[in-house]
Structure 1
Amino acid sequence: MHPKRAVTLDGMKQSVLTRYRTMAYVTGVLLILLTLGVIAKYALGISGAAGFTTAVGIAHGWLYVVYLVLAFDLGTKAKWPIGRLAWVLLAGTIPTAVFFVERRVSREVAPLVAAPEPASA
């Protein structure tokens, strides 16, 4: 395999993990903000919370779809079983779960990204 090509492939694999991690954090932060907005709106009766909750809810909804696509891409490339993939996909719907799942996924996938490509026969 050509050395320059190997660097490009490894860079592409790293970018898959980086995109997933970025969207995991974005999704997690928005979900926490949405949870706080819902608490402020319904439990505390704060008047300005309705607009905030709507805006954050819309943003989380659309960006969660991007998270799903990127997590699915990472999971298929890492050849995860369907149960594990489902858990990673659902983590974006449980406040704070996505942070723990992202950390575990990153620890597991990072060595695979750093591993050299097997030589083609």
Structure 2
Amino acid sequence: MGAALTRYRMIAYVVGVVLIMLVVVGMPLKYGFDNPVVVETVGPAHGFLYMLYLLAAFDLGRRAGWSLRRMALVMLAGTVPFVSFFAERGVTREIADRLRAPAPERERVAG
């Protein structure tokens, strides 16, 4: 599950940064200055990266045993600026705690 978490974390950061760039730089340029170049280049990149984000979130959620609702909320976090960073932080904390906890099998063998 550690590799799935790493993949999710990396793509969550990238999607978050690209979305912020699109909203903070691209949208004002397009609608305020009639210059759509950033939206035309960054928009499709964000769409492609968001699909990778969905795959990474699904993979991690499946491995972690999340409910469908939890998985959908984490997936939707990539659509709102800054939210992907908060979601990533919470997911990382949860999964890291799980990975640090001793497995029940290891406790029985050690005891």
Please indicate the TM-score interval, normalised by the length of the shorter structure: 0.7 to 0.9
Taking structure 1 as the reference length, the TM-score comes to 0.80
Q: CA deviation at 1:39?
A: 2.1
Name the residue aligned to 2:90: 104
Name the residue aligned to 2:81: 95
SS of the residue corresponding to residue 80 of structure 1 reads coil
Q: CA deviation at 1:118?
A: 4.6
The structure, 1 or 2, with the larger RCO (C-alpha pairs under 8 Å, 6+ apart) is 1
Structure 1 unmatched ranges of 5 or more: 1-12
**How is 1:1-121 mapped onto 2 (pairs within 5 angstroms)?**
13-36=1-24, 37-42=26-31, 44-47=32-35, 50-119=36-105
RMSD over aligned Cα atoms: 1.6
Percent identical across equivalent pairs?
A: 49
Structure 2 unmatched ranges of 5 or more: 107-111
Q: CA deviation at 1:51?
A: 1.4
SS of the residue corresponding to residue 81 of structure 2 reads coil
